[in-house]
A and B are shown apart, each in its own frame.
Chain A
Amino acid sequence: MFKVFKTRFEQGYRTMKYPKEPVVLPPSYRGLPVLHSDCDAEVVNKCAAACPQDCINSKNGSIDLGRCLFCGICERVSDGKFVTFSQNFELGSAQREKLITSTGSLPDLAAHSKKHFKKLFGRSLQLRQVCAGGCNNCEADINVLATPAYDLSRFGISYVASPRHADGIHVTGPVTRNMKSALLAAFEAVPAPRVVIASGACAISGGPFFGSSEVSAGLDSIIPVDLYIPGCPPHPLTTLHALLRFFK
């Protein structure tokens, strides 16, 4: 017992003050990109050719953040002339097409059209997470939200075991052929009105597995999605921000 207290004392309080106080991530972190529209077409072409995800459109100089893995190749190839990645982790969108950006700004998540969600789920939100393929990083960084550093339950949000107890599903992974039915069964088991969240490049667009016959082209090719959270995987703060901004 004494050891428990001693270790507890050593550990101290670790919960971060976000969102009351901002958190600064290290400069190496690649968050919301800043695109430079005055960039030479030649350079944009070079970036588009080097992008592993085919997500740079050289015609209008846009990046599809729903496909992007935030690998930073385009920033290095263009020496920061086409794009630089900021440390802003507040990524998220209620509409798929808004993730395709040629400026690097996303519409404020709080202003989305499904305002009734705030009333329904603003004080208490129970989600069922469904992993439908992927590499397990997305799940790992959702799990992190339950650690003392983030302490998600202080916001009235928690992840529950049964879809029947949930207000929505939080889906990760490119929806493999072998997970599609189980995913749909979990979705059907959530009582309406229900929310669908697509988290990570895989769930939004198939991610690095695009083109494989074993995966889908994204969750919204199967069921309608209310909230998109980009990243590979999304930083826990990205997810936290999206949940708070969308529902609170």
Chain B
Amino acid sequence: MLNLMPIINGKAVKRADLPVFEFEQFREKLLEISRYGYIVQFFGYEDDNKLFVLAVMRLENQLLAGCARLPESYPSLTIKRPKFNLFERELAEQFGVRPLGHPWLKMIRYQPNWRQRPDVFGNNYKEDIPGRYPYFKVEGEEIHEVAVGPVHAGIIEPGHFRFQCAGERVLHLEISHGYQHRGIERLLIKSAPLRRPFIVENIAGDTAMANSISYSQAIEALGGLTVSPEAMTVRTIALELERLANHVGDLGAMSGDVAFTPPAAFFGRIRGEFLNLLLLLSGNRFGKGLIRPGGTVLPTGKMELAAIKAKINELRPEIDHCIELLLTAHTVLSRFEQCGIVSREAAEGLGLVGPAGRASWQSYDARRDFPVERYADLPPCPWEHPTGDVLARARIRAAEISHSFDCLNILLASGGRTETIIRPETHKLAPSAMVVTINEAWRGELSHCLLTDAEGKIIRYKVKDPSFHNWSGLAMALRDEEISDFPINNKSFNLSYCGMDL
């Protein structure tokens, strides 16, 4: 019997080698693997005017890939495995195919499908988002509905939250996306290759390092480029600085949301220090322009590395003290503890990733399970005592901060000089190939998948942000919680709207 093919993170394979299944058989296989395994990629693509679906599954530290012809309608996998929920909705939205029996077939980004097929959701896209979509409603005299967004109260991205409440209690939270949709996947294919790294860096700016590393690894694999160990060190340093900036910023935001202002102010300022270190490396506070296929673009020398070293030595005790201040304050603990619990079963069923997943007993960490760049040489991030609540998500962030500092110390000690490379994006890519890259971004597993045609032209560029898995986790966390606890839960996940909307 045909089996899915084991593949390796960041290594190109010939598309002809991928097993092609009958759809029914493929579905059975995926249901079997996803009993214990998880979905890295599950997306549609057209080749020779035929529609295919490709899956990359993760089973412990193995990656398994395969594909099948995709029929116009098929029995939904979500009924059996909720992990497929968003993937199937995305497939329906992008290609106009219908998963029969899907429990809640709703659009994700509110866009007409790419094949000019009749719309699965019955929308007319001349009408504004959310079109004809009826939000989930709880009936009853005592029930009231709270609608928030797309324009939120703070300076943040747009999205829509719909709460069904009984008094203060949230019975159900529904999250709607699509406001940030910029058409990234198709823009990446149709625009000039030299624009690609810039589009990638702007998928989600707070994840610019992880996205540009994922893109670069894919092009390196398809174009046969090698990266010097020094450049890899700088890339890993940049990724850790990005992680630090975001975790530190989020702890500050969580502190602010329980009205404990001193750490909020301190963390807010310290976050900026990490962005300034990225500025030092790249000329941009988010590291944009630094990482490109083949290595890094700007030279990094002793001076930069020494400046980073001095800064992190200065910041580490400050951060330790701020974390202690935050996580020992009774007023904070009484809000964080037992709040917004995502159970192990829910996290497993939804396939949560990253710190949010680890806070709910999902040990998966791409740095440990599929190490690339310098991660094989670095110690694993300690992971203990998850409790599934806001406190667990805060503690994991704190642990990751400390781990990042340890990693930076090792990397800075080993880092050498890197040279400038000026390489326009004219790399010749392997024809009829496929590559999947996986990196642990600060929110969790980020994956890019590229397919090329017989001329080596990219025919499909698939991006999956960790938020794609984790937004459902936030909705679960809010179940039966008080609506006033929404802000801290939201910050404890701090998911990406633009990474989700693409």
User: Which A residues are closer than 8 A to B by beta carbons?
Assistant: 3-4, 6-8, 10-11, 14, 25-26, 28-30, 50, 52-53, 69-73, 76-77, 85, 129-144, 146-149, 159, 161, 163, 173-174, 176-179, 181-183, 185-186, 207-209, 211-215, 232-233, 235
Choose, from B175-183, B354-362, B363-371, the stretch at the interface: B175-183
Residues of B within 8 A of A143 (CB): 154-155
11 pairs, CB–CB < 8 Å, chain A vs chain B: A14-B269, A53-B195, A131-B155, A135-B202, A136-B205, A144-B268, A147-B268, A148-B265, A176-B179, A182-B179, A212-B186
Choose, from B319-327, B473-481, B484-492, the stretch at the interface: B319-327
Task: Determine whether the beta carbon of B279 is less than 8 Å from that of A136.
Answer: no
Task: Determine whether the beta carbon of B182 is less than 8 Å from that of A215.
Answer: yes
Residues of A within 8 A of B198 (CB): 52-53, 69, 71, 208
Interface membership of B32, Cβ < 8 A: no
* CB-contact partner of B181 in A4, A77, A178, under 8 A: A178
Interface membership of B187, Cβ < 8 A: yes
Task: Determine whether the beta carbon of A140 is less than 8 Å from that of B205.
Answer: yes
Task: Determine whether the beta carbon of B158 is less than 8 Å from that of A214.
Answer: no
Nearest-Cβ distance from residue B350 to partner chain A, whole angstroms: 24
Residues of A within 8 A of B109 (CB): 178
Give the complex CA separation of A233 and B287 in angstroms. 11
* CB-contact partner of B205 in A8, A29, A30, A137, under 8 A: A137
Task: Determine whether the beta carbon of B183 is less than 8 Å from that of A215.
Answer: yes
Task: Determine whether the beta carbon of B204 is less than 8 Å from that of A135.
Answer: yes
Give the complex CA separation of A8 and B201 in angstroms. 36
Give the complex CA separation of A26 and B280 in angstroms. 7
Task: Determine whether the beta carbon of A144 is less than 8 Å from that of B272.
Answer: yes
Residues of B within 8 A of A174 (CB): 182
The 7 closest A-B pairs by CB, nearest first: A137-B205, A135-B205, A214-B183, A161-B153, A147-B268, A135-B202, A212-B183
Interface membership of B103, Cβ < 8 A: no
Residues of B within 8 A of A207 (CB): 202
Interface membership of B288, Cβ < 8 A: yes
Chain B residues 252 to 291 lying within 8 A of chain A, measured CB to CB, are 262-263, 265-266, 268-269, 271-272, 276, 279-286, 288-289
Nearest-neighbor residue (CB-CB) of B156 within chain A: A139
Task: Determine whether the beta carbon of A137 is less than 8 Å from that of B194.
Answer: no
Residues of A within 8 A of B180 (CB): 133-134, 173, 176, 178-179
Task: Determine whether the beta carbon of B191 is less than 8 Å from that of A71.
Answer: no
Task: Determine whether the beta carbon of B187 is less than 8 Å from that of A211.
Answer: yes
Residues of B within 8 A of A14 (CB): 269
* CB-contact partner of A10 in B182, B288, B321, under 8 A: B321
Give the complex CA separation of A25 and B284 in angstroms. 11
Nearest-Cβ distance from residue B315 to partner chain A, whole angstroms: 11
Residues of A within 8 A of B424 (CB): 50
17 A-B pairs besides A7-B322, A133-B180, A214-B181 with CB distance below 8 A are A7-B262, A11-B269, A71-B289, A133-B179, A135-B201, A137-B205, A148-B265, A161-B153, A178-B178, A179-B150, A207-B202, A208-B198, A214-B183, A215-B182, A232-B202, A232-B288, A233-B205
Task: Determine whether the beta carbon of B285 is less than 8 Å from that of A178.
Answer: no
Residues of B within 8 A of A176 (CB): 179-182
Residues of A within 8 A of B321 (CB): 3, 6-7, 10
Give the complex CA separation of A69 and B153 in angstroms. 28
Contacts known (A4-B262, A148-B268); A137 close to B206, Cβ less than 8 A = yes
Residues of B within 8 A of A186 (CB): 151
Task: Determine whether the beta carbon of A8 is less than 8 Å from that of B262.
Answer: yes
Most interface-central of B155, B186, B280 (chain A CB within 10 A): B155
Give the complex CA separation of A129 and B157 in angstroms. 10
Task: Determine whether the beta carbon of A76 is less than 8 Å from that of B422.
Answer: yes
Contacts known (A11-B318, A131-B156, A214-B111); A147 close to B283, Cβ less than 8 A = no
Interface membership of B79, Cβ < 8 A: no
Interface membership of B328, Cβ < 8 A: yes
Interface membership of B496, Cβ < 8 A: yes
Give the complex CA separation of A11 and B268 in angstroms. 12
Nearest-neighbor residue (CB-CB) of B246 within chain A: A140
Give the complex CA separation of A206 and B289 in angstroms. 18
Interface membership of B225, Cβ < 8 A: no
Task: Determine whether the beta carbon of B289 is less than 8 Å from that of A136.
Answer: no
Give the complex CA separation of A52 and B193 in angstroms. 9
Give the complex CA separation of A130 and B158 in angstroms. 8
Give the complex CA separation of A146 and B264 in angstroms. 11
Interface membership of B497, Cβ < 8 A: yes
Nearest-Cβ distance from residue A226 to partner chain B, whole angstroms: 19
Residues of B within 8 A of A144 (CB): 268, 272
